Structures are given as C-alpha cells and as structure tokens.
Amino acid sequence: MNQSKKIIAVCTLTIGIVAGATIFTPTGMNAAGNVVLASVDWVNTKINPINTKLSSLESKIASLEAKVTSQQQEINNLKAGNGGSTGIHSVVYVNKSYATVHSGASRVYKVVATKSKGTSLTVIDSFNSQTGIWYRVSLSSTLKGWIYSGDISTSKVTNTNPSQVVTTGIVYLRKGASPGYASIETIQKGVTLKYIQSFTNDQGQTWYNVETSSGKRGWISSSLGEVK
C-alpha cells in the first residue's frame, strides 16, 4: 500500500513539473501573449465604432451651436435696428392693388387678411429674411400679421379703385371662390374682365369676383388674373 502511494505521489509531482515547464517555456509564453493581444483587438473593435459615433455627434453639436449663434446674432441685430434690419417705420402703405397679410414672415404662412391699395398699416416689428424684409403690422387690438416689403411703401399711396382683371392664363370662371365650385365658363389668356371685388377663402386663397363681356358673373383665382 505504501509503495502504491509513493508511486502516485511521484507521478503527480512529475506531471506538475512538466506542466509548469510548459507554461514557462517560450511556446507557452507566446500562446499566453497571443491570447492577450486577441483580447485587446476585440476590445478595440468595440471601442472604435463608439469613438466614430462620438466624433459625429460632436460635429453635429458644433454645427447646431453655430446655427444658434447665427440666429441669436440676427435677433440681436433686429433688436438693435441695424445689420439684419433696415429699421422700423411707424406706418406703411399698401402700394399693390391688393396685398396679403400672413401669419408669419413668408408667403407660405396662412393669409390672415387682404388689404387694398392705399391702406395704411401700423408697423410693430420687422424681420430680414432670405427673401427680403417683412413688416409685422397691427390689424386690430387682437390680430397681428406680416406683410412683404415689396407690397408696401413708406410714403402715402394714392388709392385708385381697380376696375379690370386681365387673365394671365387659361382660367375657369367658377360659381364660388374655391376650386371645389362648378365651372361656369373657360376663359382664355389675355381676356379683360370687369372687376367687382376680391375674397380670401379659408385656405388662404385670394379670388376675384368678375363679370364677362356677356354679363356672366363668377370667381377666378388671383394667381391667374392681374387687377388693373
């Protein structure tokens, strides 16, 4: 029995020595180093995409900060009355046959009112957009709007009531001031019609109420007619 135990102990010691030798041999060291390098490479494959995303976010943030700074400068210029603004006149006058007043400083905004030539408007603010200067005007104690500088003058304008509308394209004479109304007649380009009045519908579209030479009355879109 004692002899068997001695044999087992000797075998165990031999295996331990061989294993230790294997680990500390150059081959064993290289294997361990390769494992470490592989681990580093794996970590880098996870970190690099994150770094790329962080760089992209930093670039976007810098761009947004630049836009905010530019907009703030434009606001400051408007408040100071220089640079981004040409100054605010107290009163302006419509110099077109009819001019539309919008809810914002662009024609894409909803039309809140239509003013005839010679109408005076009280100015409360101005804005210099990419398309030109817009004036914020007071229409009543509760209603304000924006009118384009090209549609007004800072000096008084003589009001001459329009009497004619000349079609600028083929247009349908309709029973009401909307494309949904039935067509009464098709009118060719260049035809002179008697002007009666104008109207802005709920969609912000301006229509002219006209009369043909044959006595037919109806509505045409202002986009296809010029008031004179």
What would the pLDDT profile of 134-174 be if each residue is shown by its tens digit? 999 998 888 999 999 999 988 887 766 778 899 999 999 99
Superfamily of domain covering 91-153: SH3 Domains (2.30.30.40)
Query: pLDDT value at position 29?
Result: 53
Domain ranges for the chain, please list them.
2-59, 91-153, 164-227
Query: pLDDT value at position 173?
Result: 96
Report residue 155 as tokens: 């000096």
pLDDT of 80 higher than 70: no
Q: Taking CA 119 as the corner, what is the angle to CA 138 and CA 78, rounded to the nearest 5 degrees? A: 40
How many CA within 13 A on the CB side of residue 202? Answer: 2
In this chain, the answer to whether the domains covering 91-153 and 164-227 adopt an identical fold is yes
**164-227 carries CATH number 2.60.40.10:** no
pTM above 0.85, yes or no: no
pLDDT in tens, 6-43: 555 545 555 555 445 444 455 555 655 566 566 666 76
